[in-house]
Amino acid sequence: GAVVSQHPSRVICKSGTSVKIECRSLDFQATTMFWYRQFPKKSLMLMATSNEGSKATYEQGVEKDKFLINHASLTLSTLTVTSAHPEDSSFYICSADRDSGVEQYFGPGTRLTVT
């Protein structure tokens, strides 16, 4: 099956700093990657859709200047949380779409804690 990795799996940072999360498709090329956020006991909320070589498309209410997404290659997308605040603490999950197929492949998630 297709494998998607995320790094780091867990990160703690101080308020006001920036954090970068990487999402990699290990054994396939992903033209599209998606970034989700999940608060405790809540469902996944789509933040943005990332296409290789173009600007990400953000969902309503997601600040594009705060959550910077770069999809520089067909196997790597990054999410940078800039000037993080405690309310940004969440579980961030990426997924990758192979050949515009139906199934998305989810990464293991990154737990961000902002102190």
Cis-peptide into 8, omega within 30 deg:
yes
CA dihedral angle for residue 27, residue 33, residue 40, residue 61, rounded to 10 degrees: 170
Q: How far is the CB of 67 from other proteins (least distance, A)?
A: 16
Residues 17-36 that bind other proteins (CB under 8 A): 32, 34
Q: How far is the CB of 15 from other proteins (least distance, A)?
A: 24
Task: Verify binding: residue 47, other proteins, rule CB under 8 A.
Answer: no
Q: Judged by CB under 8 A, which of 5, 7, 22, 44 binds other proteins?
A: 44
Task: Verify binding: residue 45, other proteins, rule CB under 8 A.
Answer: yes
Q: Which residues contact 16 (CB under 8 A, 6 or more apart)?
A: 83, 84, 85
Q: Judged by CB under 8 A, which of 58, 109, 112, 114 binds other proteins?
A: 109
d(CA 59, CA 64): 9
The neighbouring-strand residues paired with 108 are none
| Contact residues for other proteins, defined by CB under 8 A | 32, 34, 42-46, 49, 91, 93, 97, 100, 102-104, 106-109, 111
